[in-house]
A and B are shown apart, each in its own frame.
Chain A
Amino acid sequence: MGPFPSDLLHTEKSGLFLALNANKYGVTLDLSSSEGAESFRKLAATADIVIENPPPISLEELGLGYESLQQINPGLILTSITPFGRRGPYKDFKATDLILYHMSGHAHGLLGAVKDPDKDPPIRAGGHQAEFVGGLAAATATMMALYGKQMNGQGSQINVSSFEAMVTQLISGLANSAWGRPAPPRDLAMVEEAAIGGMVGAIGGILPCNDGYVAISPREDAQWERWLVVMGNPTWSTDDRYSTRDVRQKNSPSLWKLLSDWSINYSKHEIARLGQEQRVPCFPVNTVLDLMSDEHLAHREFFVEMDHPEAGTLKYPGAAYKLSNSDLPLTARPAPLLGQHNQEILEGLNR
């Protein structure tokens, strides 16, 4: 899966593969051959954790399922990530990121309400957000199982449903449903409180700038007062239509026009800086280009650089956390080449 340099498919240069598999070792095994299965068993016997994400084929179908592995390694944790888990009417259904994003309710919220829902369908988020959530759920559950193992020596068999992981991102919406609340409408005409910039129920949205957009949310009255300072206390600000949060919400279309007429004269970074100086929640609407030159991320050394034998020197997103007592091995090694560690790891098994 892409991106690839110059958009040319290459087995060792998939950007997504390189990012997801950095700091791992890589071996190749044909699990359908008896030799490959034997090597796999030997590896699993020494492992704390085995993770799989079928389809197309599961360890169970290969005769290498939990019960078989547990016989050789009683404390093993086996985590299986599947689109819908191992139970329920859709358990054998196929899904991709697109399907999961739409089925789980996320796509209905992403665009916000639209003028003509029958012509402007829900859309998914870019990238592979649904699959990342399935992966994060699996990492979280596996960490928990590992703690249980450290305390009690117990192994675990864990089944993760990517669909349920996506749904669990929206537990607030599920609770609203459980308490009998309707789903938020997608039809702009049915949205009771006028929204500015698509955000319903909170005063905030995006403003056009001379080089893009800035997102602002001066929702509390005190924040609004400080936002007016940023704008140089325009004469309309004392108008009754904009004096309280309630009336600002009600009159947001005309208010948003006034804000936009002002913001278009400035750059997104300029407004964000002026706003934050007044402690107004506001940020530039950034692209990856902005991220790669962001001074805050640079100072925190968020991006990490690695040299890969085929793909060259590239920067990768690092971890969202710094640990005071552990150095994270974020640049231990670039993603492995296909079968790069066969000798080191597989031959070691037979010694």
Chain B
Amino acid sequence: MNQLPLQGIRVLDLSWIIAGPTATRFLASMGAEVIKVGSARRPDPSTRGPAFQAYNQSKLYVSLNLSKPEGLELVKRLLAISDVVIENFAAGVIERLGLGNDVVRAARPDIIMVASSGTGHFGPHTDYVAYGSLLQHYTGWNSISGHPNREPVTGGLWADPWVGMELAMVTVASLNNRALAGDGQYVDFSMAEALSACLPEAVLDYQMNDRVKDPMGNRDDWDAPHGVYHCFGSDRWVAIAVTNGSEWAALCGLIGRSDLTSNSKYATAEGRRQFQSELATAITEWTMQHEDIEAMRLLQQAGVPAGPSQDILRVFQDPQLSEAGYFNRVKTRDGEERDLPGLPWRFEDTQAPILTEAPVLGEHNDYIYGELLGLSQGEVAQMVEEQIIY
């Protein structure tokens, strides 16, 4: 049985809201000791709801007031015993707090400092004020989605969770480099670029064909039928993607329309794309007679890629997640048993990942100030009094 791969790594987490905490959640659950730094002076805005519980699983939480010079000294002492420090303030804020890369590196020369901001830490628009939802527009991410001739889509929670996982990836890549080369790293991360990197098709299409393509809803450039079809019940839909001729024949057989298979109009993907709307009518006649889950089962049994379009509550209740061991049942501090989210990977023959409930501010002050920094109870009490530990 292997131990968790990040055991022995200590991460000082100065990040907040979504992207940074998402990254450190991955690191903490795979064995790193993550110390989240917060203060009652300026609480993490995500503390307001259950989301905080998800973003901050498995971490330690220390209260520390960065606006006091003594607080800054405490952070430097924590930096000296950390392998990684991560922050996701707007560009320039960490320097104004007195914790720029040079200060951090003086405290711990081989530290990995991961700095994530909306548009990165240099360049003419470094100071632009950004939220994840707006970055999805700026980066073109939203431009490839939606319906032609309608307003751009404005939903989609993508920027922060995607950036969170990529930050975890580049952090561990930097740890690997340190293990090989011995030196630390300053990582200048741009959320905007992380999103723009998700559009290679559109970027290449623009250069190859001098065109900016309209979004196409659920349709595909190549495969057809490719869409969602109304099922029995209100706002219930099953997604179906036919990717080759045998899946096409299987679909026609299942819906009792083998006549379509033999119609040469529909023999190729190109033909099926051209007549997609009339095929949708034929498919919907069948799907309307079935509940979405049943439609998925029948289609999958026939060998056709299919699945229901679910809202988040139905995802939470999806038997695939519970039976594949995705959730972790935890007794939370309000005394309830709850299924908390897990990780998208399984390391076989390895210790189970650590997926505990999120901490509360200051919960681990005794361990961090007492055991790690060796402060006496009197010293701690004094700093609590002076709102340094706050």
- Nearest-neighbour CB distance to chain A for B17, whole angstroms, equals 11
Contacting pair A136 B307 (CB below 8 A): no
- Tell me the complex Cα distance, A199–B206, Å: 29
Looking across the interface, which residue of chain B has its beta carbon closest to that of A226? B129
Q: Which residues of B contact A141 (CB under 8 A)?
A: 344-345, 347
- Nearest-neighbour CB distance to chain A for B373, whole angstroms, equals 25
- Nearest-neighbour CB distance to chain A for B112, whole angstroms, equals 10
Q: Assess A182 versus B313: contact at CB under 8 Å? Given A112-B153, A204-B131.
A: yes
Contacting pair A5 B209 (CB below 8 A): yes
Within 8 A of B (CB), among A270-324: 276, 279-292, 295-297, 299-300, 302-303, 311, 314-324
Q: Is B143 an interface residue (CB 8 A)?
A: yes
Contacting pair B133 A199 (CB below 8 A): yes
The total of chain A residues at the interface (CB under 8 A) is 149
Looking across the interface, which residue of chain A has its beta carbon closest to that of B322? A88
Looking across the interface, which residue of chain B has its beta carbon closest to that of A22? B200
Q: Is B387 an interface residue (CB 8 A)?
A: no
**A281 partner, pick from B53, B120, B130, beta carbons under 8 A:** B130
Within 8 A of B (CB), among A115-144: 117-118, 121-129, 132-134, 136-141, 143-144
Q: Is B379 an interface residue (CB 8 A)?
A: no
| Chain A 149-193 near chain B by CB (<8 Å), digits 1 or 0 | 111101011111111110111111111111101111011000000
- Nearest-neighbour CB distance to chain A for B315, whole angstroms, equals 4
- Nearest-neighbour CB distance to chain B for A263, whole angstroms, equals 13
Looking across the interface, which residue of chain B has its beta carbon closest to that of A132? B198
Within 8 A of A (CB), among B81-127: 101, 119-120, 122-127
| Chain B 128-168 near chain A by CB (<8 Å), digits 1 or 0 | 11110111011111111111000111111110011101101
Contacting pair B30 A144 (CB below 8 A): yes
Q: Is A217 an interface residue (CB 8 A)?
A: yes
- Tell me the complex Cα distance, A288–B309, Å: 29
- Nearest-neighbour CB distance to chain A for B233, whole angstroms, equals 10
Contacting pair B5 A156 (CB below 8 A): yes
| Chain B 174-206 near chain A by CB (<8 Å), digits 1 or 0 | 111101110111111111111011111111111
Contacting pair B312 A105 (CB below 8 A): yes
Q: Which residues of A contact B53 (CB under 8 A)?
A: 175, 178-179
Q: Is B234 an interface residue (CB 8 A)?
A: yes
**A291 partner, pick from B139, B204, B311, B350, beta carbons under 8 A:** B139
- Nearest-neighbour CB distance to chain A for B242, whole angstroms, equals 9
Interface centre among B163, B296, B304 (most CB of A within 10 A): B296
Contacting pair A143 B176 (CB below 8 A): yes
- Tell me the complex Cα distance, A3–B8, Å: 45
- Tell me the complex Cα distance, A303–B200, Å: 11
Q: Is A91 an interface residue (CB 8 A)?
A: yes
Contacting pair A136 B239 (CB below 8 A): no
Contacting pair B152 A152 (CB below 8 A): no
Q: Is A59 an interface residue (CB 8 A)?
A: no
- Tell me the complex Cα distance, A90–B326, Å: 13
Contacting pair A98 B220 (CB below 8 A): yes
| Chain A 1-35 near chain B by CB (<8 Å), digits 1 or 0 | 11111110000010110111000000000000000
- Tell me the complex Cα distance, A98–B307, Å: 9
Contacting pair B209 A108 (CB below 8 A): no
- Taking Cβ atoms with an 8 Å cutoff, the residues of A that contact B are 1-7, 13, 15-16, 18-20, 66, 84-91, 93-112, 117-118, 121-129, 132-134, 136-141, 143-152, 154, 156-165, 167-179, 181-184, 186-187, 197-199, 202, 204-206, 213, 215-217, 276, 279-292, 295-297, 299-300, 302-303, 311, 314-326
14 residue pairs bridging A and B, Cβ less than 8 Å apart:
A3-B221, A16-B201, A98-B227, A99-B241, A103-B318, A108-B309, A129-B198, A140-B172, A171-B22, A198-B155, A285-B152, A289-B206, A317-B200, A325-B181
